[in-house]
Amino acid sequence: MSGAHADVFALLEEICSSKGTEQEEFTAWDLRCATASSARAQSKQIKVLSVGGNPKSFLEARSASGEQAAAIIIGTEPADSNPSALYRQVLVDGLLQRRGLILLQGLDRVELLAKMVRMDVASGLLDRVPSKSESSADAVQLSEMWLPGVPMPSMSIALAQEDEIEGLAPDGLKRRRAEKAEASPKSPTSSSAVAPAGRSLMDSLKARARTLAAISLLWGCAPMLMLIAGAAWLRHKLFGPSFQPGKPKKQLRILVTGGKMSKASAVARAVGRDGHKVFTAEIMPYKYCHTRFCSYVTKHYVLPRPTVDPVAWEAAVQAIVAEQSIDLIIPCTAPVESSAYAHLRERLPPHVRVFAFDGAVSDELDNKYTFNQVLVKADLACPETAAMECLEDGLEFFRGKSAADGGKKYIVKPAVYDPKARTEILFLPIEDEQRQEEYLRSRNATKEVPYVIQEVLQNPEYGCFAMFNKGALTGFEFFESAASCLVYRQCRDKRYQQVLELNKGLGKAMNLTGQLTLDLMHTASGDMVPIECNPRIHSAICTLEGHRNLGSCYTEPDHAPSSDADIVLSKPDTFRFWIMDQIFLMAGFWKHKSCFKLSISEMLGGNDAMLAGDDPMPFLAMYLAQIPSLLALEILPGTEWLKLDFCIGKVVKEGGD
């Protein structure tokens, strides 16, 4: 057995030496239960941490602390516990560094594990690492196409009961494990009492305890939050405003919707500082949303959900417009609601403007294929994209394309945002043509539910927020992106100007009036290209607060910058974050894999995105009223939740709202 163990270390040393890496230390975690004491890596550069008897607990602890390894060794000897489950746990919990290695001793002994590895290699997310010598070990490596948070195809395989990891489902998402539908045969009640599928009493109690702990932490931080808000207010009173108010031609009566979002209070302040009269609205259960406490808001309204009762929702909006003589509506809502406002404008009184793209333009931008065609027609840089409205479209696209060619890889995804879409992802083409056809068929693409086939681009991912009026770019921000982005700072380099010019070209080509967000990635040549468009406001507007023209971008129908100096841009040193998000990260309420975790010194160099000296109450209300009121609704049912998103002001649960 020591020979087999030595084979793994020899392979690891061979890989490290072939890379010619100059790292001071290469950390590997050895999950095998019986690592021979005589078998160790000989290189001083390689540090091997032997886990011992409980690798699952070891990985859970490393995941909780956010640690990652350069390599992880998994064994398949009888003494080694659940190698397939450990393999899945490593990938699901993101325990490998970028381009990290998994070394597998005796892979051919575990058929299920071998199948999982083959699937992941075929998808292009893992690369096999060749060896120059005969070895009983295999090595695979995260490929350049792998993205954090992307589930591996092998996660679609159901593991045997004893191999399952608490909290993991076959699709790779964190899920609660359902209770067994049948009692053990040894149980005297097995024939008459069947445990209901779902969560146990203990699960509910744990969820309630976590909810109460979250409320306690929020309210426990109240003195600190009040001190911060008081200091900002005092600074404003002593030294004057940090913003430049505009000079509007006429006072407007403005309705800002989406009141639970941080961006709603930013917009309310921007137009309120210019002297306009502001009203806000939000759907239930966000009755105590922070914007109703904004010093620039005259009155707050609660609306029905447009997705549940569109007739009642439209009637409520029309009633507010009539009651308050509204001149302008600025939607700051979630994706589905934003689309509803885009299609509402044609039924509003003629004098009422909606600062959003009209329904047809919004739909064109929201669809990944039609948006791509806009870029193509405008001769703007974009990734190769094809429409897929049936299986035949997919088969025709990949006809003649082979994995052996080593050419481009493609991803198949819904043309329009669909939170219920299947999460299994393959980078195509793959060598197994039958599996490729099955995968394309499983998308169930139709004209009503179209998909796109899009060229896979390279990390890292960036985002930009842009505002337009009659085709002119009026506001812009460019920032590093993440799945849960609650830290914003300007990325000012050559890409900044490149993306700014791209937005100018897009606005001119479509004569846009409204606001949008682009997700961008790199081509192989290093150019930034947009992969999709979200035709609505973005939270990055928090970096633009205080600019003299921000209010005018929304309120002046003829506003157009006379030069680039008049475009609303952030200052180079602007740095915004949500302080309670960082505190909850430090407290370990959720992991920081898909978000930015800051140090204390970094936080001291920035400001809370919601804090304004002339308007400190929304800052306090988000942390001490809005989020606690939402958490309180989860106590009685004992609902489990994933995290608190202080940026969009909601409790994030599995499956959405």
Residue 316 per-residue DSSP state? H
The C-alpha atoms of residue 513 and residue 507 are separated, in whole angstroms, by 8
Q: Residue 110 in contact with residue 87, Cβ under 8 Å? A: no
Residue 485 has a pLDDT of 77
The C-alpha atoms of residue 500 and residue 477 are separated, in whole angstroms, by 8
- Give DSSP secondary structure letters for 256-295: EE-TTSHHHHHHHHHHHTTT-EEEEEEETT-TT-GGGG-T
Residues 361-368+457-576: name the CATH superfamily. Answer: ATP-grasp fold, B domain (3.30.470.20)
Taking only the tens place, the pLDDT of each residue in 215-262 is 999 999 999 999 999 999 999 999 998 887 777 889 999 999 999 999
Residue 407 has a pLDDT of 78
* SS3 at position 13: helix
Please, which pLDDT band fits residue 610 given cuts at 50, 70 and 90? very high
Residue 4 has a pLDDT of 55
Q: Residue 328 in contact with residue 254, Cβ under 8 Å? A: yes
Strand order in the sheet with 458-469: 472-480, 458-469, 514-522, 528-534
187-201, 225-239, 581-595: which has the highest mean pLDDT? Answer: 225-239
Backbone phi and psi for residue 572, each to the nearest 5 degrees, phi listed first: -55, -30
The C-alpha atoms of residue 428 and residue 83 are separated, in whole angstroms, by 27
Higher pLDDT, 361 or 156: 361
Q: Residue 530 in contact with residue 509, Cβ under 8 Å? A: no
Lowest-confidence pick of 49-63, 178-192, 455-469, 550-564: 178-192
Examine the pLDDT at 25 and tell me if it is beyond 80. Answer: no
Residue 181 has a pLDDT of 35
Taking only the tens place, the pLDDT of each residue in 26-58 is 788 998 876 544 345 556 678 888 877 788 888
Examine the pLDDT at 579 and tell me if it is beyond 90. Answer: yes
For residue 409 the two structure tokens come to: 């890889």
Examine the pLDDT at 147 and tell me if it is beyond 60. Answer: yes
Q: Percent of the chain scored above 90 by pLDDT?
A: 52
Higher pLDDT, 473 or 110: 473
Rounded-to-10 torsion of CA 549, 552, 558, 561: 10
Examine the pLDDT at 167 and tell me if it is beyond 60. Answer: no
Amino acid at 307: T
The C-alpha atoms of residue 75 and residue 70 are separated, in whole angstroms, by 17
The C-alpha atoms of residue 488 and residue 606 are separated, in whole angstroms, by 10
Average pLDDT in the 506-526 region?
A: 92
Average pLDDT in the 583-595 region?
A: 83
62-66, 288-292, 494-498: which has the highest mean pLDDT? Answer: 288-292
Residue 179 per-residue DSSP state? P
Q: Percent of the chain scored above 70 by pLDDT?
A: 85
Cα atoms in the 13 Å half-sphere on the side-chain side of 460 = 11
Residues 384-455: name the CATH superfamily. Answer: ATP-grasp fold, A domain (3.30.1490.20)
Higher pLDDT, 18 or 178: 18
For residue 360 the two structure tokens come to: 């047809």
57-61, 303-307, 573-577: which has the highest mean pLDDT? Answer: 573-577
Secondary structure E strands in 67-209: 69-74, 96-105, 126-128, 137-142
Residue 149 has a pLDDT of 57
Higher pLDDT, 342 or 601: 601
Residue 655 has a pLDDT of 58
Average pLDDT in the 1-13 region?
A: 70
Residue 423 has a pLDDT of 56
The C-alpha atoms of residue 278 and residue 253 are separated, in whole angstroms, by 6
The C-alpha atoms of residue 458 and residue 146 are separated, in whole angstroms, by 9
Alpha-carbon distance values, 53 to 9, 32, 320 (Å): 20, 8, 65
Same fold: 2-163 with 384-455: no
Examine the pLDDT at 3 and tell me if it is beyond 50. Answer: yes
The C-alpha atoms of residue 94 and residue 281 are separated, in whole angstroms, by 39
Tell me the average pLDDT of the chain.
85
Average pLDDT in the 485-497 region?
A: 88
Domain ranges of the chain: 2-163, 244-356, 361-368+457-576, 384-455
Secondary structure E strands in 389-439: 410-414
Whole-model pTM over 0.95: no
**Residue for token digits 């669809």?**
367
Please, which pLDDT band fits residue 1 given cuts at 50, 70 and 90? very low
The C-alpha atoms of residue 519 and residue 531 are separated, in whole angstroms, by 6
Count of beta carbons in the 10 Å neighbourhood of residue 399: 8
Domain range 244-356, CATH architecture: 3-Layer(aba) Sandwich (3.40)
Examine the pLDDT at 399 and tell me if it is beyond 50. Answer: yes
Residue 483 has a pLDDT of 61
The C-alpha atoms of residue 294 and residue 301 are separated, in whole angstroms, by 13
Residue 386 has a pLDDT of 96
On whether the 2-163 domain is CATH 3.40.50, my answer is yes
Cα atoms in the 13 Å half-sphere on the side-chain side of 177 = 12
